[in-house]
Structure 1
Amino acid sequence: MSKIRQIIQEYFNNTYSESIRKKFSIWLVDSKATEEKDKTLQEIWDNLNISADTSTESSYLQLQHRLFIGRKTYRRQLFRKIEKITAVFLIPILSVAFSYFYLKNSKLPAIENIEYAEYFVPNGEIRTLTLPDSSKVLLNSGSVLIYPQKFDGKTRDLYLNGEACFTVVRDENKPFIVKTQDMHVEVLGTVFNVSSYADSGNSSTTLESGVVNIRLKNKQSESILLKPNEQMLYNRKSGVSEVKQVNIETILAWKEGHLVLQSMSMDEIIKTIERRYDVTIFLNSNKYNKEKITAKFIHGEKINEFFAVLQQLIPYMKYKIEGKKVYIY
């Protein structure tokens, strides 16, 4: 029996602290033993004999934004099997099992002595955070940032799921590194934006000023240097990355509360709107698959105003808003 399987089974007879659960989040984005982890968790998932109740949907939707899930493929499995298990059982299976593995088997030195903080931004909000080195972070809706309470090591490492704009205090002796499921973004002192939501098909880094060095996890031997007004866009499905010139004001429009759609698919629009307005959107048709929408909302439009405009762009679209739920037909 593998160590991972033993650890997951041992979880059911133990309780772990919040600090260990946070450290799990950091470990989970690591790409080591991905196939074995997924296989073991999938088998345990399939063997659970649990029925969902009326709170399953809301609990699971909250879970999506709380967990630092690093593999989109596993999230898709969760969506397909949502009717089988409630979020309350999913949380400990994922978090505690991997936290234990990380602490007991990681080769990182003295990890137990590092105190991590987790900063979560709910859907519908944008928040500002000051880091221990006085660097500033503006986090977009539905984002999670995990960082040491003190930058005592040789580098300033942070772990991001979501979107954030960093204004980094320069320290030539201590590089600032943002780690996501796809890439490591290293800087000394600069202003840049990272977008890496776990449920998105793409991730990106955009530079406003200074210089950033990017290393993709699937190409560790290669580095990508960005200059101001450049963006590195990574396609998770194809594994292909590209660097292009962009309008930095458009990329950072979310900082001012603006919403900019640039040739977005309906699937991308739904995820963006769910985060922005803190709603759940149900799409009951595949007839919008070929739609690509470009639009700009800069007047603080409410959700009903947004969909009124979207319907003008897609005249055959039908929708209904019921509280925190939106149905598209």
Structure 2
Amino acid sequence: MNTEREKIRKLISDYLSNKIDSNQLNLFLDGFDKKEIEEEYDFVLKNHFDNLVLTEGFEQEENTENNEKLIEARSIIQKDPAKSIGFNGTSLWSSVSGIAATISIICCAVAVLWVTTQEKAPKEEDLPVISFEERYTQPGTKGSYTLSDGSFIHLNADSKLSFPQEFNGKERLVKMGGEAYFKVKRDEERPFVIEAEKIKIKVLGTSFNVKAYDEEDEIVVAVESGKVMVTDLKQNSKQFILTKNQKLVYSREENKFKVTDANISSDLIWREGVLKFNNTPFSEIERKLERWYGVDIQVEDKSVYSRKISGVHKNENLKAVLESIKFAFGIDYKINGKTVKLKTF
């Protein structure tokens, strides 16, 4: 019966440590109907409850909840004087011969305590949830924010940032979409983690730029200083370490990563109010102008999309940029409030 005794002891231990489930409870109760293991129940339950009584005073502060359950069980048992089990503070069973008369009462007590335990068990939804604040920049606007840890973030137009009021825990997590420049306050014990669409970026203290607009195929990370680790959110095995003047480009369409050494100044000049086009397809220019100036561009002549444009514009208004494009590339425009119509001539 050693195996049965070990099984009984484990069931009792699992129950008191809140690990028993309904199937285990049924298994425990079914044992009372088997004469061949009745003695093992008698032996194990007797010693278990005797030990609880003896150690009750020593563990009162640490096991207040378990003591309350024990008292509840005793009250159930003591309600039936015809089936008294002789509890006197030193031994819960005064006689082995009394076990048959108490089996049904013990079943009831264990069942009641199991239900009580399940009702008091912590639920997942009761766990604390970290709430994130959100910041948005509308098309035509930019924004700068300093987080609670001292890290600085500059948001480009039509971008969003989510972050907690205070960073608690082992990492400093923020989420972003659009484009943002980060200058992260160094904290070697708490890495700074950014979730941007398909990738996760992890740093200790560094400065870098992230571009991850929903409507664009490419996600770009360009490192100005320090070291950055980029991970594929879906495949954690794909990790890339970037250092100063390195750039990572991830193509959503091709699901491919590419790391290059490059002069990243062109990835950062938006912070200085500079628009730079370098043989750029007009479809990309259209999106950039809409975000930069907060307008809706309507292309009446689809041949415009066949053009590629180069040029640098620093702190220029929309009309000045359109005049430059008109003169150099033969694309006429008409501005009506927040709507811009384009066509070739």
TM-score under structure 1 normalisation?
0.64
Counterpart check, 1:250 vs 2:274: no
Deviations 1:7-55 (A, max 9, x none): xxxxxxxxxxxxxxxxxxxxxxxxxxxxxxxxxxxxxxxxxxxxxxxxx
In 2 relative to 1, CA 162–177 (structure 1 residues): closer, same or farther, beyond 3 Å?
A: same
**Matched position secondary structure for 1:165:** strand
CA distance in 1, matches of 2:154, 2:248: 20
Deviations 1:246-297 (A, max 9, x none): 3232211011111112332111111111111111111233313332222211
Q: Equivalent residue for 1:139? A: 155
**What is the CA distance between 1:113 and its match in structure 2?**
2.8
In 2 relative to 1, CA 123–111 (structure 1 residues): closer, same or farther, beyond 3 Å?
A: farther
Q: Report the AA paired with residue 335 of structure 2.
A: I
1:126-275 equivalent positions in 2, closer than 5 A: 126-275=142-291
1:52-91 equivalent positions in 2, closer than 5 A: none
2:295 to 258, 261, 279: 279
1:321 to 330, 335, 339: 335
CA distance in 2, matches of 1:108, 1:180: 27
CA distance in 2, matches of 1:175, 1:186: 6
CA distance in 1, matches of 2:182, 2:310: 26
Q: Report the AA paired with residue 271 of structure 1.
A: R
Q: Equivalent residue for 1:289? A: 305
**Matched position secondary structure for 1:268:** helix
Q: Which runs of no fewer than 5 residues in structure 2 stay unpaired?
A: 1-122
CA distance in 1, matches of 2:199, 2:328: 35
In 2 relative to 1, CA 213–292 (structure 1 residues): closer, same or farther, beyond 3 Å?
A: same
CA distance in 1, matches of 2:127, 2:287: 35
**Matched position secondary structure for 2:161:** strand
Deviations 1:62-92 (A, max 9, x none): xxxxxxxxxxxxxxxxxxxxxxxxxxxxxxx
Larger radius of gyration: 2
2:137 to 102, 111, 121: 121
CA distance in 2, matches of 1:175, 1:110: 27
Deviations 1:224-259 (A, max 9, x none): 111111111112222222112232322110111111
Q: Equivalent residue for 2:327? A: 312
Deviations 1:160-193 (A, max 9, x none): 0111110001111111111111210110000000
CA distance in 1, matches of 2:328, 2:251: 27
In 2 relative to 1, CA 297–108 (structure 1 residues): closer, same or farther, beyond 3 Å?
A: farther
Q: What percentage of residue pairs aligned between the two structures are identical?
A: 31
Structure holding more helix per residue: 2
Deviations 1:188-233 (A, max 9, x none): 0000000111111211000000000001235431111111111111
**Matched position secondary structure for 2:304:** coil
User: How many positions carry a matched residue from both structures?
Assistant: 221
Q: Which runs of no fewer than 5 residues in structure 1 stay unpaired?
A: 1-106
In 2 relative to 1, CA 108–277 (structure 1 residues): closer, same or farther, beyond 3 Å?
A: farther
In 2 relative to 1, CA 150–183 (structure 1 residues): closer, same or farther, beyond 3 Å?
A: same
Q: Equivalent residue for 2:65? A: none
In 2 relative to 1, CA 322–186 (structure 1 residues): closer, same or farther, beyond 3 Å?
A: same
**Matched position secondary structure for 2:289:** helix
**What is the CA distance between 1:146 and its match in structure 2?**
0.4
In 2 relative to 1, CA 254–110 (structure 1 residues): closer, same or farther, beyond 3 Å?
A: farther
**What is the CA distance between 1:148 and its match in structure 2?**
1.1
In 2 relative to 1, CA 158–260 (structure 1 residues): closer, same or farther, beyond 3 Å?
A: same
Runs of 4+ in 1 over 3 A off after TM superposition: 107-112
**Matched position secondary structure for 2:321:** helix
CA distance in 1, matches of 2:131, 2:324: 47
Greater RCO (Cα-Cα under 8 Å, separation 6 or more) = 1
Q: Equivalent residue for 1:8? A: none
CA distance in 2, matches of 1:218, 1:120: 26
**Matched position secondary structure for 1:269:** helix
TM-score under structure 2 normalisation?
0.61
**What is the CA distance between 1:326 and its match in structure 2?**
0.4
RMSD of the alignment, in Å? 1.9
**Matched position secondary structure for 2:322:** helix
**Matched position secondary structure for 1:132:** coil
Q: Equivalent residue for 2:33? A: none
